[in-house]
């Protein structure tokens, strides 16, 4: 861990500026329900989306992309093979990638695929509590894409996955939990309207991939992605009449969020394994 002070809001603002300056190319192998929304979210954040998901192209593109998202929302046979091809190429090329194990546990094909793909060492894993529990321990999963478990119930499973695969694990919920096995952040930002828009969670996986391309610290990058995303959700919810008006407002808010907004709104706590009090955290360079 770096000796510098880690301030989540400041770090996230730095990485957001870096993302907008560098325009990372994010390859998305994602579900057919959310493709358009995901592409628009990436554009709003400042990244460049590329929906390259066919066999024969997926691997070659993963070698040149800035980052890769593999989302298992609609894993048809072509996408399953393209995912295998892409993650193998990403591992070989050192391309950071995100695994989003949508609805695993309850559905057998995607569950087996998630357990196969995770062995390729994703840089980050994101999902709801039920999905993370299912990936870590073969749990039953939730109701489709909906979680049946609370975020904190998956804290141990998230730490287990992080330790086993060297990944950052992000558990989405009313309070997001992000861990690399040593550091754990909890982000209390966001708005329930985000859960009423198709693709709200899936697009976060793509934004996480974009932020991974901006930093050599996957934990800080994943925290930044979640913080920027959930603060944008709060901004969009202000004045929204419901999910229909929220969705376009969210894309606008994602394009508008800036350092001052993050500093004003961030509700983030950070803990380090083995460090229990504020003075110990400060000595380790963490602003709790």
Cα(103)–Cα(75) distance, integer angstroms: 11
Under 8 Å between Cβ of 236 and 261: no
Cα(230)–Cα(9) distance, integer angstroms: 12
Give the alpha-carbon dihedral of 33, 188, 162, 199, to 10 degrees.
0
Cα(155)–Cα(143) distance, integer angstroms: 20
- The annotation status of 1 as a binding-site residue, yes or no, is no
- The annotation status of 126 as a binding-site residue, yes or no, is yes
- The annotation status of 51 as a binding-site residue, yes or no, is yes
Under 8 Å between Cβ of 19 and 277: no
Tokens representing 63? 């070698």
The structure tokens 């579900």 sit at 31
DSSP state of 148: S
- The annotation status of 172 as a binding-site residue, yes or no, is yes
Binding-site residues: 51, 126, 172, 199
Binding-site residues for ATP: 126, 172
Binding-site residues for substrate: 51, 199
């Amino acid at each position: 861990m770096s000796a510098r002070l880690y301030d989540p809001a400041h770090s996230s603002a730095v990485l957001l500026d870096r993302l907008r300056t560098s325009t990372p190319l994010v390859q998305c192998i994602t579900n057919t329900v959310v493709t358009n929304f995901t592409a628009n979210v990436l554009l709003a954040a400042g990244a460049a989306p590329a929906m390259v998901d066919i066999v024969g192209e997926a691997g070659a593109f993963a070698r040149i992309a800035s980052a890769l998202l593999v989302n298992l929302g609609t894993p048809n046979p072509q996408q399953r093979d393209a995912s295998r091809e892409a993650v193998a190429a990403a591992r070989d090329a050192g391309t950071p990638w995100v695994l989003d194990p949508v609805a695993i546990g309850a559905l057998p094909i995607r569950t087996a695929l998630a357990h196969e793909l995770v062995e390729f060492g994703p840089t980050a894993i994101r999902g709801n509590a039920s999905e993370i529990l299912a990936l870590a321990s073969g749990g039953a999963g939730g109701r489709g894409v909906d979680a049946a478990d609370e975020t904190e119930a998956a804290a141990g499973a998230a730490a287990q996955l992080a330790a086993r695969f060297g990944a950052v694990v992000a558990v989405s919920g009313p309070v997001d939990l992000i861990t690399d096995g040593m550091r754990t952040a909890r982000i209390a930002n966001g708005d329930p309207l985000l859960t009423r828009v198709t693709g709200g969670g899936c697009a976060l996986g793509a934004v996480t991939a974009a932020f991974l391309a901006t930093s050599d610290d996957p934990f800080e990058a994943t925290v930044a992605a979640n913080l920027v995303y959930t603060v944008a959700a709060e901004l969009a919810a202000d004045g929204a009449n419901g999910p229909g008006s929220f969705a376009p407002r969210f894309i606008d808010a994602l394009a508008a969020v800036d350092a001052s907004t993050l500093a004003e709104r961030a509700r983030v706590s950070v803990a380090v394994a083995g460090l229990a009090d504020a003075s110990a955290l400060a000595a380790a360079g963490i602003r709790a």
